[in-house]
Amino acid sequence: MNVRNTVFLLALFIFTPLYAGYYAFEPRWDGYIIWGGEVKTQTALLVDISKAIINGSGTDSTTLCNHILGNASCAGIRTIYWRLDDGRGHLLFDSNQKDSVLALPNLAVDFSKIDYAEKAYELTRKLGMEIYLVADGNYIDEARIKFSPVKVISSKEISAKDLVSESNMIGIYTWDVARLAKANLSGKTLYFRKSITTQKQLMNASICVTSRNKYKLYFDGRLIGEDSEWWIGETYDITELSNAGNHVIGIEVEPDRNGERGLLLNALFKYNDRTDKISTNAEWLCSDTFVEGWNKPDYNDKNWKNAIVVGFDGCVPWMRLIRPWNNKTSVISDDSSKRPIAVSKVSVAENSQIANLLIDSSSNDRSAWYGKVPCEIELSFDKSRPINEIRIYSGNIEYSNNNSGALNIKKYSIDVYQNGQWIRLIEPMQALAYKGEKCADFFIRHKIDNKNFEKMKLVVIESFDTGLRVHCPDKPCAESKLVYIREISFYDNLESSIKK
Amino acid sequence: MFSEIKKISQFVTLLVFCLILPVKISEGGISDKTNEAISCETLDVDYAYRWNPDTYVIWEKKPDAPRQDVPITYSDWNLYRITEGKAGVRFVINNMAATGISHIWIRAFGGGWAEYKSQVDEVTKWTPYGSGEDAKKEDVLQESVEFGHELGLQVYAWFPFLEEWHGWKENSRSRYTDMHQDLSDQHLNGFKTGQPSFYFKEYIDYKLEIFKELINNYNIDGIVLDFERIAHRSNQCGYLPGLIDEFQSKTNLNARELSANDPNWMAFRAKYIGDFIKQVNEIIDQRNRPVELVMWNVWDVPLSAHWDVKTWTDAGLIKNLAVFKHGELGWGSAASVPDDLYASLNHKYKLNKLYYGCYAFKTNEKGLTDRAAAALTQGFDGLIWVESTPIYWGKRLNLPREFALTDTFEVKSGLTDMTGGGEIAVICSNAWDLSLDDSEKTLISGSPNEIVKIRLPAVDGTHSLVFKCHKLSGKNMFSGIAVDGYTITAQKDKFPLRTNPSWQSLNGNKVAITGKPGIAPFLGNK
């Protein structure tokens, strides 16, 4: 065997497992998903795990506990009462009273073999929740010994006024969870900060972040990036900003109006001999009040409160989160004039039939229309501005609404108003999702080389709409061919890198 | 006097003899006097009753019950609830069996994710929604096959083999497509679709590896090649330089100058997928056990760049066709189904079997029932209830049930020695009465879906238990009765008494298994 063959085989031997294990070697998100403020109500969760099982769940104890407790943490529930019996004389743990231990042979469930309570305890510790095991009758002493140091109480000692049951916490994300999250957790825009110190000889510094729903990431007060797609995190290289000394990572998070909320951030500071990892957890500080300079190192944060944990990577309902560090994103230029451009006025062409205007875009850079196709939406700015990029997000995100077709843009054109006349900027074309390109949701992105214009007109020619609705499932509804546009945003010189 | 007494005695003896003898001869009868005296006693029982594993839920099948299939995607179920692990699989399949469904299609692969223990390197090996460590050990397909077969169901592997991820976010995309962009199909303008092309041998080999695993490692009864449920079936693709050159060398035509919908050009591109199906057939032929290969597709597009139904059926590559259209308009009512659909498809293609897909997501119950009935009237060989999750949570499981199962059921056990009495537990979807043999007397009655434990009376000789299950007044989605227990013989032995398909319907119709007790919907008073 010659040297070349040996090297080739050696390389094959080394790299093949890495390639085959492409996903297995990717890191998961560290730390916890956090939210801020105090939990408003004292809703507690009472779990009878046997009910969850017989109502169509699984024997997989990890997953089952993950669903119930993950949803609960996401809903802002901090106290769990975990029953050790089903209230009808069957024990839900491996008791010395063997005859009473529940077994459902045809479901392959045997509580003498699967310790759900132990799994629940582990998970509540991870999520920073308080758990009480609930036992009655003559087995309470046995349970106290078996599960020490976990608190075992009798059902009479359950002190919570508002109890919800495990049936509200089954599934990936339910309206029960959303409703509780809205009731329990702050719905305000929140500000998070974490002080860090970097040393000399830093080789590389990067931050990967995602949130529900929209974040703005700052480093020492400077806007680094922003995004609103929760299932994929953006990775920002901040090496050149991370001189030795004290710094602050600041994040402003605008919650989702449906109740889904949370922030997850991982940061890596790599030195010659080590890597410092920073990740979101309950030690992060949070405030719901905007104060000038809140995101800078010299800001006094003594009145800020600790964040609370509302989940982690893999925890329901965050389990569709894409692994971190994949999505490298340019840092926004430090020139404050090169920021996302606010739209000053939104109008809808007279010949367009808009069914409903959900949010008035003139008061917010977020916009959302639910209108009939074809339609024209006109957006204008205070003055003629150089625009480098247009992003349009359309379609329903929630899978439950996809019955009708996602109502996303299928075919469209874009006109701009320049020097007193309308000019066709984008000829009618199909959206990326329909061309088969890799795209996140139904996201349209056009880079347009700093064109100056005062107005833009989006013409939606065709949408993906089957016309079938929940309320008229048999035939196309009268309002068929609708489009749902979630957001249109404009950027100036977004690609400017801090390295330039 | 004595003689009179003797005569009376003889008369009484004769009378008793006349009364008793037929009973003894039949070994299943019971005297009125005994009948009046006997009764049942109810005992405490609840949902945690440990049903013997040999107990089955049974019901009477309609004589004309059609074949009814249901495709099942576990990750879809998981979005609604946590149907994971062995219990989750059993929950889903039991619910399907309870409606008289005869065939289940387990989605074995899609979006790069396998719902079975694949050993192919580039396959991601478990459902994206199973996050727990335990979940990774589960083999949904294997459990489905085992449990489905136990219930008498035919279990098919549903194989959406044209790479697709149908609307999920990027994290459930096919990993293979990410890793093999070099095998991507492309449009005329060079635009890469991201979908691997069957023109590339590497891709075919990869797909065949998966196919072999399904065929060789699992005791499946059939396999469904899903052409309908794909993300990209545009004819704009297939403009790969090699493919275009081959087409030119064989036809002297330049594909670049033809319409993407040119029949010759479409057929040429589809041929590569046809070659794949040919190899699939060869793999199936090598298997000892028959496996039905079903092509699932839209009914009104016989030819595209991805399929060529006429050529494939003529060549015998495809013999069984299931037609369906996913959520499309015009497929939502009986009136929209062409009257001659069955006849025209059978005329066009050489087919063994032709099945009809009902889209359970859309339309109302009547619309669904009407068009399913219309399809059967036309001659279709079976119904496919597409989308098992909405049919379950939409509480539309009464639709397949109405085609398959009777509303009432009178069933009797085999003869059993009840000299020492016995104990049984009963659960039934409907209200029921228990009697012995052909007696009119009801010994005990039960309510729908309520477990009742009964102490059986001690009655000399052998008898049959007869259960009369009444029609439900409301919507009836499930049908079944399970009995588990024993009788005590004259020798004081316990003799098992459990429902199974050997129990006889008094109507003479076939008795089918519709589930196992102790699993929803046959849990009882939970």
> What are the C-alpha distances in Å from A182 to residues A76, A175, A259, B173, B313?
9, 10, 5, 31, 57
Lowest-pLDDT range of A42-51, A70-79, B136-145, B441-450 = B136-145
**DSSP letter string, B370-401:** HHHHHHHHHT-SEEEEE-HHHHHHTT-THHHH
* Cα gap A180→A185, rounded to integer Å: 8
* Cα gap B286→B155, rounded to integer Å: 19
What pLDDT score does A441 carry? 44
Cβ atoms of B170 and B128 closer than 8 Å: no
Instruction: Over range A42-60, report the average pLDDT.
Output: 81
Lowest-pLDDT range of A180-184, A245-249, A476-480 = A476-480
> Under an 8 A CB cutoff, do B195 and A406 touch?
no
H or E element in which residue B70 lies: strand B67-72
Q: Which tokens sit at A90? A: 């069957």
Instruction: Over range A389-411, report the average pLDDT.
Output: 62
Q: Which of A54, A60, A402 sits opposite B135 (nearest CB)?
A: A60
CB-CB neighbours of A296 under 10 Å: 15
Q: Which of B87, B130, B171 sits opposite A53 (nearest CB)?
A: B87
The greatest distance separating any two alpha carbons of chain A, rounded to the nearest whole angstrom, comes to 87
> Under an 8 A CB cutoff, do A435 and B78 touch?
no
Gap between the terminal Cα atoms of chain B: 68
* Cα gap A251→A218, rounded to integer Å: 6
Torsion of CA A444, A448, A449, A452, to 10 degrees: -130
> Under an 8 A CB cutoff, do B329 and A316 touch?
no
Give the strand pairing for B444-446 and B452-456.
unpaired
3-class DSSP state for residue A310?
Answer: strand
- Is B466's pLDDT higher than 80? yes
Type of residue at A327: N
> What are the C-alpha distances in Å from B389 to residues B175, B225, B383, B386, B436?
26, 21, 17, 9, 41
A41: confidence class by pLDDT, cuts 50, 70, 90: confident
pLDDT digit string, tens, across residues B19-71: 444 444 344 455 554 555 678 889 988 888 999 999 999 999 999 999 999 99
> What are the C-alpha distances in Å from A297 to residues A201, A246, A294, A331, B364?
21, 7, 8, 20, 61
Type of residue at B16: V
pLDDT digit string, tens, across residues B137-177: 678 899 999 999 999 999 999 987 777 655 443 345 566 77
Q: Which tokens sit at B58? A: 């049974």
The burial of B74, by beta-carbon neighbours within 10 Å (0-12 exposed, 13-18 middle, 19 or more buried), is given as buried
- Is A436's pLDDT higher than 70? no
Closest CA to A209 of A374, A57, A29, A42: A29
- Is A437's pLDDT higher than 80? no
> Under an 8 A CB cutoff, do A437 and B516 touch?
no
* Cα gap A50→A55, rounded to integer Å: 8
What pLDDT score does B443 carry? 95
Q: How far is B23 from chain A (nearest CA, A)?
A: 40
Residues 6+ apart with CB under 8 A from A488: A343, A361, A367, A377, A379, A390, A391, A392, A393, A458
Gap between the terminal Cα atoms of chain A: 50
Instruction: Over range A347-368, report the average pLDDT.
Output: 43
> Under an 8 A CB cutoff, do A59 and B78 touch?
no
Lowest-pLDDT range of A68-77, A329-338, B390-399 = A329-338
Q: Which of A58, A440, A473 sits opposite B170 (nearest CB)?
A: A440
H or E element in which residue B243 lies: helix B241-251
Q: How far is B9 from chain A (nearest CA, A)?
A: 57
A25: confidence class by pLDDT, cuts 50, 70, 90: very low
* Cα gap B492→B420, rounded to integer Å: 6
Q: Which of A107, A319, A405 sits opposite B131 (nearest CB)?
A: A319
Q: Which tokens sit at A459? A: 């013409």
What pLDDT score does A406 carry? 61
Among B119, B168, B170, the strongest candidate for a mutation testing the A interface, having the largest count of A CBs within 10 A, is B170
Closest CA to B279 of B380, B381, B209, B184: B209
> Under an 8 A CB cutoff, do B132 and A20 touch?
no
Contacts of B172 in chain A (CB under 8 A): 320
Q: Which of A52, A107, A467 sits opposite B519 (nearest CB)?
A: A107
Residue of A nearest to B516 (CA): A106
> Under an 8 A CB cutoff, do B82 and A473 touch?
no
pLDDT digit string, tens, across residues A187-207: 899 999 999 999 988 999 999
* Cα gap B433→B447, rounded to integer Å: 9
Bond prior to A213 in cis (omega within 30° of 0): yes
> Under an 8 A CB cutoff, do B79 and A399 touch?
yes
Closest CA to A227 of A210, A239, A241: A210
Query: What's the mean per-residue pLDDT of chain A?
Result: 78
Instruction: Over range B112-128, report the average pLDDT.
Output: 71
Contacts of A477 in chain B (CB under 8 A): none
> Under an 8 A CB cutoff, do A60 and B517 touch?
no
What pLDDT score does A253 carry? 95
Closest CA to A128 of A48, A64, A193, A35: A35
Within 13 Å of residue A424, how many CA atoms lie on the same side as its CB? 7
Among A12, A28, A50, A60, the strongest candidate for a mutation testing the B interface, having the largest count of B CBs within 10 A, is A60
3-class DSSP state for residue B510?
Answer: coil
What pLDDT score does B410 carry? 98
The greatest distance separating any two alpha carbons of chain B, rounded to the nearest whole angstrom, comes to 122
- Is A474's pLDDT higher than 60? no
What pLDDT score does B175 carry? 66
Residue written as tokens 């730390």? A31
pLDDT digit string, tens, across residues B303-335: 999 999 999 999 999 999 999 876 543 344 445
What pLDDT score does B88 carry? 83
Type of residue at B136: K
Strand-pair partners of B50: none
The burial of B256, by beta-carbon neighbours within 10 Å (0-12 exposed, 13-18 middle, 19 or more buried), is given as exposed
Q: Which of B50, B79, B131 sits opposite A66 (nearest CB)?
A: B131
Q: Which tokens sit at B66? A: 């059609």
Q: Which of A170, A232, A320 sits opposite B82 (nearest CB)?
A: A170
* Cα gap B322→B383, rounded to integer Å: 9
pLDDT digit string, tens, across residues A144-194: 999 999 999 999 999 877 899 988 887 766 778 888 888 888 889 999 999
3-class DSSP state for residue B211?
Answer: helix
What pLDDT score does A249 carry? 97
Lowest-pLDDT range of A39-48, A386-395, B158-167 = B158-167
* Cα gap B162→B172, rounded to integer Å: 15
Instruction: Over range B174-182, report the average pLDDT.
Output: 72
DSSP state of B450: -
Residue of A nearest to B124 (CA): A23
Bond prior to A473 in cis (omega within 30° of 0): no
Q: Which of B92, B191, B328 sits opposite A435 (nearest CB)?
A: B191
CA B169 to chain centre: 29
Torsion of CA B426, B430, B436, B437, to 10 degrees: -120
- Is A15's pLDDT higher than 50? no
Q: Which tokens sit at A172? A: 């990936």
Cβ-Cβ contacts under 8 Å between A and B: the total is 184
Q: How far is A248 from chain B (nearest CA, A)?
A: 31
Strand-pair partners of A35: A308
> Under an 8 A CB cutoff, do B523 and A54 touch?
yes
A360: confidence class by pLDDT, cuts 50, 70, 90: very low
CB-CB neighbours of A362 under 10 Å: 15
Q: Which tokens sit at B488? A: 């005590």
Q: How far is A287 from chain B (nearest CA, A)?
A: 32
A101 φ, ψ (degrees, to nearest 5): -70, 130
> Under an 8 A CB cutoff, do B81 and A57 touch?
yes
**A202 dihedral zone (left: phi>0; alpha: psi -120 to 50; beta):** beta
> Under an 8 A CB cutoff, do A320 and B172 touch?
yes
